[in-house]
Amino acid sequence: MDRTTQEETGACMSMAGHDEGFAAELRAATRSDHGENETSAYMAALVGGRLGGDEYAALIEQLHPVYELLERAAEALADDPVAGPFALPGLARLRALETDLAHFRGPRWRERVALLPSTARYCDRLRDVAFDWPGGFVAHHYTRYLGDLSGGQFIGRQVRRVLGLGEDDPGVLFYRFEGKPKDYKDAYRALLDAAPWDAAERARVIDEVRTAYRFNAEMAADLSRALSIEPAA
Ligand code: HEM
């Protein structure tokens, strides 16, 4: 295990948070919801090196409409003083996902994508809450992008290793950010801490992050069923 992986894993184990501000409160309050995602059969098989490119592409096919909506919502809320700044320059993932999908599925990849029922429900929820409720946008944005900058970096290394791809190769560009993930995470957590939300609004945001984690777990469960992936023995 390299140093970054150790840091990520160590940080994961101490996800209890510290009494420091909303970023720590949110992290601590949703720790077990995150755990369900980490241990899903699909994600465990992915990080365990048991999936090939085709099965990996099945995940990013489902993530594509999620990021499309998140990034459209970011545009819609760009001028909102609270939500706007969370869309940090360099975070957007949609173009990378599209390049990765073209790598695995060919230039006409869009024609064969079939949304899983959980993805369709996830997208409905994003349409309902991420476009005109700043806290709802931040809840969903946080769940995906802070994840991509955190455990996502570990997942990316595993996927690259298994598929024999380098950091700059199409197929795994989704995981490559310009600059250090830690710098984005520090800036993101500072924004969470600075959000002018009272206790009731913070509780609503935490609830919505739980909802977002649940959609991700349901998507992983749907993928396991669709691809007949069994939990590791
Ligand atoms: C095998 C799957 C996964 C592994 C191994 C994993 C691992 C981790 C680790 C180690 C961290 C802490 C890193 C740090 O503090 O710097 C983390 C944070 C996080 N992960 Fe995951 N993760 C997985 C799946 C997911 C999924 C599916 C999501 C959501 C869609 C997600 C969302 C997050 C978020 C939002 C954080 C940041 C928590 C915070 O600091 O506020 N993770 N993950």
User: What is the domain-level CATH number for residue 77?
Assistant: 1.20.910.10
Nearest-atom index, ligand 1, CA of 216: 30
The CA 34 to ligand 1 mean position distance, Å, reads 7
- Residue 118, ligand 1, Cβ within 6 A: no
Question: pTM for the full model?
Answer: 0.91
24 within some domain:
no
- What is the CA(111)–ligand 1 centre distance, in A? 31
Residue-wise pLDDT tens for the chain (233 aa)?
A: 333 443 444 333 344 434 479 999 999 999 999 998 888 999 999 999 999 999 999 999 999 999 999 999 999 999 999 999 999 999 999 999 999 999 999 999 999 899 999 999 999 999 999 999 999 999 999 999 999 999 999 999 999 999 999 999 999 999 999 999 999 999 999 999 999 999 999 999 999 999 999 999 999 999 999 999 988 76
Q: Ligand 1: distance of its center to the CA of 122 in Å?
A: 18
In a domain, 65, yes or no: yes
Token pair, residue 150, equals 């955190």
Does residue 31 fall inside a structural domain?
no
Residue 200 makes CB contacts below 8 A (sequence gap 6+) with none
Give the structural domain span for 174: 41-226
232 lies in some domain: no
- φ/ψ of 126, rounded to 5, equals -60, -45
Q: Is residue 30 part of a domain?
A: no
Q: Would you state the structure tokens that stand for residue 79, as one six-digit string?
A: 């001028």
Contact, 8 vs 152, CB < 8 A?
A: no
